[in-house]
């Protein structure tokens, strides 16, 4: 069976990224990337679709993300979706999709842009 597993997202971190190291010395950063899209219903009500993606960054990319990004920090990330499965306390099999990031681009954060705009206006 053939297929393509390529995922690209531009979003912000829901909390500060966390860095750990494997026994081999490889850096690992786990974080959740949030994406949202505003919409209007037919009757004019406004709403927002939200998506939260548990994500994993590896190696030097993981270290860079933790060094330069905090909660709300914007990134563009590309990689593959992967399923993790485990058994819970009652023996039921659970699974979740996570994003295995292969390439990341750090984007200017909204807060910094707003602050720079205010400084220029003064």
Around Cβ 44, how many Cβ atoms within 10 Å? 6
User: CA triplet 56, 58, 60: central angle to 5 degrees?
Assistant: 140
1-45, pLDDT tens digit by residue?
788 899 999 999 999 999 999 999 999 999 999 999 999 998 999
Residues 6+ apart with CB under 8 A from 34: 11, 12, 13, 14, 50, 51, 52, 53
Buried b (16+ CB within 10 A) or exposed e, 93-103: eeeeebbebee
Structural domains present in the chain: 7-121 (2.40.50.140)
Dist CA 35 CA 25 (whole Å): 31
* Residue 85 pLDDT grade (very low, low, confident, very high; cuts 50, 70, 90): very high
Question: In the predicted model, what is the mean pLDDT of residues 100-114?
Answer: 82
């Amino acid at each position: 069976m053939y297929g393509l597993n390529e995922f690209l997202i531009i979003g912000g971190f829901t909390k500060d990224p966390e860095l750990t190291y494997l026994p081999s010395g490889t850096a690992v950063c786990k974080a959740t990337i949030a994406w949202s899209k505003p919409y209007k219903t037919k009757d004019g009500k406004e709403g927002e679709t939200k998506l939260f993606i548990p994500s994993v960054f590896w190696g030097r990319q993981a270290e860079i993300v933790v060094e330069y990004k905090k909660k709300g920090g914007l990134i563009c990330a590309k990689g593959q979706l992967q399923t993790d499965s485990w058994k819970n306390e009652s023996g039921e099999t659970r699974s979740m999709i996570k994003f295995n990031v292969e390439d990341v681009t750090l984007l200017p954060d909204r807060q910094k842009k707003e602050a720079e705009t205010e400084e220029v206006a003064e």
